[in-house]
Structure 1
């Protein structure tokens, strides 16, 4: 538990005390979603959240002076990447490439469960969806349980904002146009205590992400459909049926599309981790080294789970909300269109030569983005990943068009027309 500053106005102290309690509560597993504000209402932020918003958009907090949180998590792109780069460019000269595609910050913020994993789990148990399956946390590998910790990582990543240490961030923050406001909220002498100042700064970003309704708007066509305000088209309904079919696409087994028992709208993820065997991406500079492998839960960015080799290759099953707006898919950014990502999913095993290169012996090098010894971790037990080479994929091209149409109903900011509303 982190304790917050006490040297500020009584009203601010009271507000922050309440928010501190809320900050812990909102990160508990599967908390019900708060009621949404009217679409035209302006957000009313706490003092901390208002500062967090300024920091989120402040490029001066980076070593280059050109990268902010919003550079990679663009509000106009559902808080995901604003382009189709496999990984974004950053660093002191904005030429360093990251190693993973940028995930969206939208929707996972208010209901993401904390990381949990029983160490005794075997791979067969996991794929049978027992309680031992890894679940929760923020990021592709779930290594952050708090938004403030997730927010701090890009600040020091040499491929992103590239600050040397917290002192470098605070030096920039102390010169920011809103530094006086930061002192007013957190105490006039806040910068005299660097540890506390950095904690408060990250807390402020966390509060902005939790309080701003644009991070969880629930304004998609699918949301209005669930509320009975409109009907989906015939094509969208066909796509949903294909998406749900447990002997077909089986997508809903991980990307849950049913409302919660409390009526909360689905986030299209179960927060679990899967090894899908996505092909190696030559667009990533790190992959020029044949010995480099991004193995998700067991490294290289996450290190606390690396002793369990059955973790290797597992990545978060991310929310599919707004996925149709993206230009880059999967953890390594291997695909750049939604339909190609869907094709890979259903054709991975039936047409492997279409997706993987051949090795030195002329054999298809399937699951080539993992070391050979760890490819056993890739899911081959869940439909449709059980198909064999030469068999017919579970989806045709028309089916893929229909599923893509359904997924497009998950895009936010859908304009509900008067004739559609009941």
Structure 2
């Protein structure tokens, strides 16, 4: 007689094998059969994994947004390469595409549509002069626009918020000269016309779809957006912390200490921007308030564009954003606060990829102003090149109010090495399983 326990073990082993095989197929770009994804999303998945859609024929969306790395970069390079022949270097670190589905459109309004105490996102716009129902404003809001302290940039996709929808975001890298480098709509649509899935386009959008390049490009962006929305791998909420929030897991002592430091307004104060509580309607936290900060991380010499001393990446103010917001001095040097989900698996941090470990990131926060010589390079005369990746005229935008960035040179840093290790232990609980 076969024991029930043996049967259960065998069944568990079989299910594990199937799950691993499924992950391997998806990582290789093969879309599983069945009702899990709509026909539109399956078309988007085929495009997402297709290197033929790049000018070089070597870069797909998945090349930089690897499913095996939670849709983030697959290696520790500060920026990824692309271009017509794959020879051009990017100018910013590749952000993850995971957990973007609840990102609101870019707007400027009262801080905040999101709150440290888990205020749920409010769709639409808000009056800039409205009274903030959340009480006293935090650092960024207190600094923004003299006479309009409530005005805070928030929402949008990319580091600078220049895209409001997944459709806009998906088409950006396809046309970027240093990414997939299609020179125009016609050249990209010509590739789609020759793709192995061209018949899928005709079936979904009409037999004459490729005779209308602008519409074909719009539909391609829509299919890519449906893939990001429908595929649960982009937002699985399967981490240990999610299990902990549901009462199904227990944090270790180090993880508990790290969580306390993460929330402590005088220590890590991470939760001021990386919200860690469920929303009132029960949605799990995405670990960002979708707002923007000028943190003044040091210049990264590994980015070729930075070899020009007159070049600066100013976030909302460009070089990639060109609307009215890009011409407002108060927005210069501000970059979007990313989600911290799966952050412990990343090897590149901040918009310019200057750091490659969580310990370096936490030391930056603790030492930026207390021990600046540990953060910024020195000039030929031995003086410290403070805030060396932001022109002096924009340095008033830098966050010097919110802990742990509210200290001065010589002050005791907000975090010890041991406390940083505890925060890192907690951050590891945010990794999806």
Calculate the aligned-residue CA RMSD, in Å: 1.9
Deviation at 1:58, TM superposition (A): 0.4
Deviation at 1:257, TM superposition (A): 0.3
Deviation at 1:225, TM superposition (A): 0.3
Pick aligned residue for 1:380 from 394, 400, 411: 400
Moved more, 358-367 or 317-326: 358-367
Pick aligned residue for 1:78 from 62, 65, 70: 70
Pick aligned residue for 1:142 from 158, 161, 169: 161
2:128 counterpart of 1:113: no
Pick aligned residue for 1:392 from 387, 409, 412: 412
- Matched residues in 2 for 1:307 and 1:126: separation? 19
Report the counterpart of residue 92 of structure 1 in structure 2.
84
Deviation at 1:160, TM superposition (A): 0.6
Report the counterpart of residue 22 of structure 2 in structure 1.
none
* SS of match in other structure, 1:117: strand
* SS of match in other structure, 2:406: coil
Deviation at 1:128, TM superposition (A): 5.9
2:421 counterpart of 1:401: yes
- Matched residues in 2 for 1:394 and 1:42: separation? 52
Pick aligned residue for 1:295 from 300, 314, 338: 314
The verdict on how the C-alpha distance between 1:155 and 1:266 changes in structure 2, with shifts beyond 3 A counting, is same
Pick aligned residue for 1:127 from 133, 142, 147: 142
Report the counterpart of residue 250 of structure 2 in structure 1.
231
The verdict on how the C-alpha distance between 1:41 and 1:128 changes in structure 2, with shifts beyond 3 A counting, is farther
Pick aligned residue for 2:40 from 42, 48, 53: 48
Q: Deviations over 1:216-241 (max 9, x none)?
A: 00110000000100110000000000
Matches within 5 A, 1:190-269: 190-269=209-288
* SS of match in other structure, 1:306: helix
Q: Which structure 1 residue ranges, 5 or more long, are not aligned?
A: 1-39, 414-422
Q: Deviations over 1:339-378 (max 9, x none)?
A: 1111111111111001101234432111100112211211
- Matched residues in 2 for 1:319 and 1:43: separation? 29
- Matched residues in 2 for 1:125 and 1:142: separation? 17
- Matched residues in 2 for 1:195 and 1:377: separation? 40
- Indicate if the aligned counterparts of 2:53 and 2:60 stay in contact, CA closer than 8 A: yes
Pick aligned residue for 1:69 from 37, 61, 70: 61
Deviation at 1:336, TM superposition (A): 0.5
2:377 counterpart of 1:357: yes
- Indicate if the aligned counterparts of 2:138 and 2:402 stay in contact, CA closer than 8 A: no
- Matched residues in 2 for 1:41 and 1:378: separation? 50
Question: TM-score under structure 1 normalisation?
Answer: 0.85
Moved more, 383-392 or 309-318: 383-392
The verdict on how the C-alpha distance between 1:369 and 1:42 changes in structure 2, with shifts beyond 3 A counting, is farther
- Matched residues in 2 for 1:133 and 1:379: separation? 13
Report the counterpart of residue 420 of structure 1 in structure 2.
none
- Matched residues in 2 for 1:41 and 1:316: separation? 37
* SS of match in other structure, 2:108: coil
2:353 counterpart of 1:333: yes
Pick aligned residue for 2:191 from 169, 172, 187: 172
- The number of equivalent residue pairs is 373
- Matched residues in 2 for 1:363 and 1:335: separation? 22
The verdict on how the C-alpha distance between 1:269 and 1:123 changes in structure 2, with shifts beyond 3 A counting, is closer
Question: TM-score under structure 2 normalisation?
Answer: 0.83
- Matched residues in 1 for 2:432 and 2:303: separation? 30
Report the counterpart of residue 412 of structure 1 in structure 2.
432
- Indicate if the aligned counterparts of 1:127 and 1:382 stay in contact, CA closer than 8 A: no
Deviation at 1:123, TM superposition (A): 11
- Indicate if the aligned counterparts of 2:140 and 2:293 stay in contact, CA closer than 8 A: no
- Matched residues in 1 for 2:90 and 2:260: separation? 37
- Indicate if the aligned counterparts of 1:87 and 1:98 stay in contact, CA closer than 8 A: yes
- Matched residues in 2 for 1:283 and 1:275: separation? 21
